[in-house]
């Protein structure tokens, strides 16, 4: 009799635990906001403007920032897995930024938001605009690239997390969602770091996270019909007055031609006497 009672109690406990686990693993679809920036295409050799005020963007091929392609891919994959209800692509910049949003829509984002600003808006201002959009749209997750390859700032995601007081994972190369927990693998100097964070959260992504899909022609056509709202930074209550002054943008110094050494001893000698680094 005692054995029977123990077995029944065990079975009930097991069922309850399993149920509880399923509840905690239940898919809770959330909105995802993905930030996509229009930058000089990564294949283009960047040229400094004649007046040294920045880099040349006139008559230069522009594309979506490569890391933002990974962010868009991840957002679309999460939606396809039933873990996101909607993917909203946001770009902040001049009119042409709409082309970048259309690319994200062709990859599978549902709708776009374009915030019209001058080219070269600073990361803090971008973060403030994204914060205002987060408050408006209430996403559970914001995905960004780890850095924009034009200014290589690597600041926006961190500033946004600080402004919102949300959890953040940067340089993410692996991501899984369990209920309202995100398990992220971060690329750090010493290797890989695994962290868990609770949504709502900001995740900035690295290239190894996934392989972004190519938008098919039918999807490019479909993207033209997807909703794309346009607003100004002022509509969101954000002023875009720069806080930083660019003094001068210059090309990196030309590298001197190298020399071949015939032995390690000669290399060490040159490092000591010529390069003076040892
Ligand atoms: P950064 O901090 O400038 O290196 O940019 C990091 C990430 O923030 C980018 O990969 C984008 O996801 C996002 N971001 C930065 N600037 C913009 C922008 N003007 N429009 C949309 N997203 C942006």
Beta carbon of 67 within 6 Å of any ligand 1 atom: yes
Distance 127 CA to ligand 1 centre (A): 8
Residue 219 pLDDT greater than 50, yes or no: yes
170 lines ligand 1 (CB under 6 A): no
The whole model's pTM is what?
Answer: 0.85
* Cβ–Cβ < 8 Å for 160, 172: no
Q: Is pLDDT larger for residue 154 or for residue 257?
A: 154
> Using an 8 Å Cβ cutoff, are 106 and 215 in contact?
yes
- Owner of token pair 């033209």: 224
Residue 208 banded pLDDT, cuts 50, 70, 90: very high
Strands 191-198 and 181-188: antiparallel
Please provide the average confidence, as pLDDT, over all residues in the chain: 91
Per-residue pLDDT, averaged over 207-225, amounts to: 97
8 pLDDT band, cuts 50/70/90, is low
Res 23 pLDDT > 50? no
Instruction: Please report the domains of the chain, with CATH numbers, ordered by start residue.
Output: 30-236 (3.40.50.620)
Residue 234 neighbours by CB under 8 Å, 6+ apart: none
SS3 content of the chain, % helix, strand, coil (to 5): 35, 25, 40
Q: How confident is the model at residue 120 (pLDDT cuts 50, 70, 90)?
A: confident
Please give the C-alpha separations between residue 159 and each of 124, 128, 155, 166, 223, in angstroms, as whole numbers: 7, 8, 6, 10, 31
pLDDT beyond 60 at 257: yes
- What is residue 20's predicted lDDT score, i.e. its pLDDT? 47
Mean pLDDT of 129-145: 98
Provide the pLDDT confidence category of residue 26 given band limits of 50, 70 and 90.
very low
- Ligand 1 site-directed mutation target among 32, 33, 37, most atoms within 8 Å of CB: 37
Q: What is the pLDDT of residue 184?
A: 98
Any ligand 1 atom below 6 A from CB of 153:
yes
Q: Is any atom of ligand 1 closer than 6 Å to the C-beta of 73?
A: no
Question: Over the stretch 173-190, which tens digit does the pLDDT of each residue have?
Answer: 999 999 999 999 999 999
Residue nearest to atom 23 of ligand 1 (CA): 37
**Distance from the CA of 209 to the center of ligand 1, in angstroms?**
17
- Rounded to 5 degrees, φ, ψ at 143 are -110, 135
How many CA atoms within 13 Å lie on the side-chain side of 276? 0
Q: What is the DSSP string of 103-126?
A: HHHHHT-SEEEEEE--TT--HHHH
């Amino acid at each position: 009799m005692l054995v029977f009672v123990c077995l029944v109690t065990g079975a009930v406990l097991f069922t309850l635990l399993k149920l509880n686990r399923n509840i905690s693993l239940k898919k809770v679809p959330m909105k995802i906001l993905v930030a996509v920036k229009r930058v000089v295409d990564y294949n283009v050799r960047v040229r400094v403007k004649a007046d040294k005020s920045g880099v040349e963007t006139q008559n230069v091929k522009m594309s979506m920032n490569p890391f933002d392609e990974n962010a868009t891919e991840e957002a679309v994959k999460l939606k396809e897995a039933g873990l996101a209800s909607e993917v909203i692509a946001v770009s902040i910049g001049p009119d042409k930024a709409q082309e970048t949003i259309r690319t994200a829509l062709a990859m599978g984002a549902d709708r776009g938001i374009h915030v019209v600003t001058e080219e070269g808006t600073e990361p803090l201002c971008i973060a403030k605009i994204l914060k205002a959009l987060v408050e408006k749209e209430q996403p559970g997750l914001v995905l960004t690239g780890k850095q924009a390859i034009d200014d290589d700032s690597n600041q926006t995601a961190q500033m946004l997390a600080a402004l919102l007081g949300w959890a953040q994972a940067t340089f993410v190369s692996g991501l899984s969602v369990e209920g309202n927990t995100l398990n992220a693998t971060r690329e750090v100097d010493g290797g890989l770091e695994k962290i868990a964070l609770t949504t709502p959260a900001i995740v900035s992504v690295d290239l190894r996270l996934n392989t972004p899909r190519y938008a098919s022609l039918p999807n490019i056509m479909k993207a033209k019909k997807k909703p794309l709202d346009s607003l100004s930074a002022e509509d969101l209550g954000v002023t875009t007055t720069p806080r930083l002054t660019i003094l001068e943008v210059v090309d990196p110094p030309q590298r001197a031609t190298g020399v071949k050494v015939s032995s390690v001893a000669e290399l060490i000698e040159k490092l000591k006497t010529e390069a003076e680094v040892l």
